[in-house]
Structure 1
Amino acid sequence: MSIKAVPKAEYLQHLQPQTMTVNLVVGIISIAPARTVTIRKGGYDMEIIELTVGDETKAGFTISSWHSAQDPRSKTVDQSRKVLQSLRPQDIVLIERVALSSFRGAVFGQSLNRKATKNTTAFTVLHKAHEFRSDSVQQSSLPPAIEHKLERVREWVSSFVGPSAKRKAQHEPLSHAGQKKGRKHALTEDFLPADSQP
């Protein structure tokens, strides 16, 4: 699905209590440092890594990935966290099973709650912009639809994301994202600490 095709808040509200999930191939615009929040129901800590992403149809979509707070004594590897920590602007990822939510008319994506569902949100690196990595998927192994989408997103990323682009995209798709930047920052502070993970 393209970001522009993501349903509006009214449609998502109509689906409640069901949660809609989508698969997205997106370019990374920015990644916020992980921050810790305390869940009111249960009193335990979670860490949130927030991505701002885009594709050739729209930019400025926010996806929040929830993770258990890191325990230095634990030997368990959080693979999703590992992938996210490796990402840089201009990288391209396939994100499977992104849960869609809304708040005050704004639609955003979240990772699925691992404690509430058998399915999890998966992050697969399709393209590293500045280096070769063995964990990047080789293009020849991708389904044709994903391969074609990757090419379109790669063209968009090379033109509109990164210091060399000088935010050229703000005159087109990023203009909408820029207008909402302050609002989205405020929204994350409002709704993410609450028990809003699907």
Structure 2
Amino acid sequence: MSENKKAQNARGLSPSPLVIQDTQPARWAPGVEVDSKEDYDRFTHQLALELLDECTPVHIAVVAAQHMMFSDLLSRALDESRRALDVSHRLNRAKAAVSDAKLESYRERLNDLRNNWNDYTDIAIDFYKKKTWGAVGKKRHAETTKMKGIALAQWNEHGANVSSMSAFARARHKEFGVTERTLYEWIRKHRNAKS
């Protein structure tokens, strides 16, 4: 440091700070931000003059046509993305409506269950009775089921020798431990099943 600067620093005087001015560049280039209409008009006029000096009118026309087409392409892409966004919003609203409908359906089922609880319990109890008592019934009727098989075997063997199913049932029902009507029904169902 020079003696003069050392003396200024010692006395508390420092060099003046740099003043940074926000200046707009003199000419436009890609990446330069245009902040006002005046700058836009100035840069446009300046760029047009430079293009006229450097390019032929045909070349300028080609560049202008390319820019118009590119601008149209960007505009259509923007419109398409807006439409896609609109469809997306409509789809989300439809999904929400379906979710609301499902929720309402669940609510209706729950209300139906609450309102018809006694009917459902009766159905469940009947089912339980059939399931448990059915096994007891099968056990209780095991002997009758066995006799039915023997009676049908006798009918197959001797039925052709008897005048009718009624006559067979009348003559032999006591042998199988059932009523005449029961034996007749067994034979009738058996004959129909064979036909």
Decide: shared fold, TM above 0.5.
Answer: no
TM-score, normalising length: structure 2: 0.19
Q: What TM-score, normalized by structure 1, do the two folds share?
A: 0.19
Higher helix share: 2
